[in-house]
């Protein structure tokens, strides 16, 4: 049995044959119930009960062993390999930039037609890439569209096989993938493992296990009309859109790129994804992994395409051209609010729907009832300083009720000062926090902190850029602890997106909720308390798209629909909604009973013989369809009969 291989079409045919065989037998047999013969047709009794039992046994074997084995064969992973990029090798000695300030903050070189990439942690040059043109994008979209024509016809098992193969590759190459992500983003290897690899594996595993169920036709109740509900069925079928797009941010170059690709592949779409100009080097390698995986599984690698360009200028409108491309049927945007305005304006020209995930000002609320402050401080530290605070659902505000506030300040003051900065990409140094993607926001961060201090906040640690003795060209900012922050301060209202831990004191539970809702964002939040009823009440009062109770950001790992409200954007990706959102939700109604179908009644058939009779017929039909009175329905049926001709 282990050597049996059946493709999806063979499985369907075999399934159909077994069903037809059993149906034929049933039609030829007398039907019994509790030893009482209900239907008898001795003339057609050609098959004995013994034959029927054999048939059932064969059917059981087919369903129990052959079908599952065949399905496992179609989903069996394929191994593949890729050459290692030179800069991804451990202890790589790439040349360093002479002056990091000579590199524009967007990562581009002096040549406006090229994009210069370098390692933010060390200043090592990673490479130079040509900024794509409008013609380049047309070619990418055309290739993806051509590949999608065949891909949309693949079965879920074939798509799962690709995802399983990709999952295996990631598991076997964690060190390499993390190092590539760190080279281009400056984060630590540990941060890359948690923020890049773990969440990507979870998305893959979740779709492999639950994606097929999420995209099955969704049966609906159908009409409530008394006369139609008996024979009309209704369902929603989820079909691929075609070629979709995504504009993803630089803070998680592997996960942010792979997430939309995984969802696109499984939903039967092709994707042309636009990475940030900050991380072109790593994105080129990561897209190669996806292409090689598709090719190794026997599919067209053109299904996934990568594009990149410099930001829009008076002479270069490539970025907006991508967002307005008429062949892109859906866009996912992950980035800042100012850039979102440009993307949405461009997408409106082609009426392309956009899912917008912007920044956050996520609050972690510690209620009076919560007691284990030391354990909570570890969550706060990880949620604030992972990836140097460059995390859309990172903890931007720690709001602590009055009873626990001073204790928590004391605990965090001791811990933040011990954080070590540096790079462990090549050497396994004991470092806690890596570099930021660039230094273009350092002055802004310093001004926000300085302004808060002038308004009464206390700066206990950090607050300024840091020149690392081993990596003087790296982009490092000191881990910062700012306490006694109040809502009117600029740092409490605007996204920091950096390693700054801001603490706010709440008088009581209601005041904590007020403080949490005082910022113009609404992406995520966390609530910690020993009284679950109280935590649940607070969760219902928070103005955000996602909430974790007694945990941090696990709503993302749980593959729930992810997205925010207010200044954090709109729309959802992730989970079932993320998959169905990339499909055409086609509404289909049908006749449940083959011998009953909709007919135009004679009084309503053109040309109408009598408007008086037609009106009486329709009125009786409406009344009989929706009245709550059985007697009124009976009278309506009599009226329908009178006016039927």
Per this entry, what is the length of the chain?
Answer: 645
3-state secondary structure labels for all residues of 82-113: CCCCHHHCCCCCCCECCCHHHCCCCCECCCCC
Strand arrangement, sheet containing 354-357: 304-307, 270-274, 243-247, 328-334, 354-357, 569-570
3-state secondary structure labels for all residues of 610-638: CHHHHHHHHHHHHHHHHCCCHHHHHHHHH
CA dist 164 → 4, 206, 296 (Å)? 20, 11, 12
Catalytic one among 196, 277, 284, 357? 357
357 catalytic per annotation: yes
How far is Cα 612 from Cα 638, in angstroms, rounded to an integer? 17
Q: Which of 239, 271, 326 is nearest to 585 (CA)?
A: 239
Q: Which of 560, 191, 203, 521 is nearest to 382 (CA)?
A: 191
Token pair for 613: 């009779």
Token pair for 204: 């893959």
How far is Cα 553 from Cα 383, in angstroms, rounded to an integer? 8
Q: Which of 254, 261, 269 is nearest to 328 (CA)?
A: 269
186 close to 436: Cβ distance less than 8 angstroms = yes
Token pair for 60: 């059981």
3-state secondary structure labels for all residues of 186-227: CCCHHHHHHHHHHHHHHHHHHHHHHHHHHCCCEEECCCCCCC
State how far Cα 61 lies from the chain centre.
39
> Which are the catalytic amino acids?
357
């Amino acid at each position: 049995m282990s050597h049996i291989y059946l493709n999806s079409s063979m499985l369907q045919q075999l399934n159909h044959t077994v069903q037809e065989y059993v149906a034929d037998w049933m039609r030829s047999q007398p039907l019994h119930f509790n030893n009482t013969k209900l239907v008898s047709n001795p003339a057609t009794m050609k098959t004995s009960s013994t034959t029927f039992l054999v048939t059932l046994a064969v059917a059981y074997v087919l369903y129990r062993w052959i079908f599952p084995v065949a399905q496992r064969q179609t989903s069996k992973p394929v191994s593949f390999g890729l050459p290692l990029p030179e800069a991804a090798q451990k202890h790589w000695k790439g040349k360093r930039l002479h002056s990091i300030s000579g590199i524009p903050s967007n990562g581009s070189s002096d040549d406006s037609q090229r994009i210069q990439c370098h390692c933010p942690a060390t200043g090592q040059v990673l490479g130079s890439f040509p900024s794509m043109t409008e013609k380049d994008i047309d070619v990418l979209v055309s290739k993806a569209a051509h590949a999608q024509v065949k891909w949309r016809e693949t079965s879920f098992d074939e798509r799962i096989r690709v995802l399983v193969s990709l999952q295996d590759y990631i598991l076997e190459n964690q060190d390499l993938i993390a190092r590539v992500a760190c080279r281009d983003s400056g984060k630590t290897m540990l941060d890359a493992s948690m923020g890049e690899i773990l969440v990507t594996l979870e998305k893959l595993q979740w779709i492999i296990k639950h994606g097929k169920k999420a995209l099955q036709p969704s049966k609906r109740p159908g009409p409530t009309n008394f006369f139609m509900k008996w024979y009309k069925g209704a369902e929603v079928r989820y079909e691929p859109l075609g070629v979709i797009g995504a504009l993803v941010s630089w803070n998680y170059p592997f996960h942010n790129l792979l997430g939309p690709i995984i969802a696109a592949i499984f939903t039967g779409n092709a994707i042309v994804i636009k990475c940030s100009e900050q991380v072109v080097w790593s994105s080129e390698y990561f897209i190669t992994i996806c292409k090689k995986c598709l090719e190794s599984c026997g599919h067209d690698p053109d299904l996934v395409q990568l594009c990149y360009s410099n930001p829009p200028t008076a002479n270069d409108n490539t970025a907006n051209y991508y967002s307005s491309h008429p062949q892109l049927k859906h866009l996912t945007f992950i980035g800042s609010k100012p850039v979102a305005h440009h993307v949405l304006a461009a997408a409106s020209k082609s009426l392309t729907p956009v899912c917008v995930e912007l920044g956050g000002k996520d609050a972690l609320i510690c209620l009076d009832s919560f007691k284990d402050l030391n354990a909570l401080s570890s969550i706060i530290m990880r949620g604030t300083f992972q990836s140097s605070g460059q995390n859309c659902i990172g903890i931007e505000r720690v709001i602590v009720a009055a009873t626990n506030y001073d204790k928590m300040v004391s605990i965090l003051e001791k811990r933040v000062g011990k954080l070590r900065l540096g790079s462990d990409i090549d050497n396994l140094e004991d470092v806690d926090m890596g570099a930021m993607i660039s230094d273009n926001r350092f002055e802004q961060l310093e001004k926000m902190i300085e302004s808060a201090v002038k308004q009464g906040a206390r700066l206990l640690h950090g607050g300024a850029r840091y020149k690392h003795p081993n990596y003087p060209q790296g982009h490092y900012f000191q881990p910062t602890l700012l306490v006694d922050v109040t809502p009117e301060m600029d740092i409490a209202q605007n996204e920091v997106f950096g390693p700054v831990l801001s603490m706010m004191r709440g008088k009581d539970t209601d005041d904590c909720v007020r403080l949490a809702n005082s910022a113009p964002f609404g992406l995520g939040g966390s609530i910690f308390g020993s009284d679950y009823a109280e935590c649940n009440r607070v969760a219902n009062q928070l103005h955000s798209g996602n909430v974790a109770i007694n945990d941090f950001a696990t709503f993302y790992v749980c593959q729930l629909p992810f997205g925010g409200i207010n200044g954090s954007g709109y729309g959802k990706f992730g989970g079932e909604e993320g998959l169905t959102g990339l499909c055409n939700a086609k509404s289909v109604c049908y006749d449940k009973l083959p011998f009953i179908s909709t007919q135009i009644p004679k009084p309503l058939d053109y040309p109408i013989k009598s408007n008086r009779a037609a009106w009486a017929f329709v009125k009786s039909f409406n009344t009989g369809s929706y009245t709550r009175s059985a007697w009124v329905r009976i009278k309506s049926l009599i009226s329908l009969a009178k006016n039927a001709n």
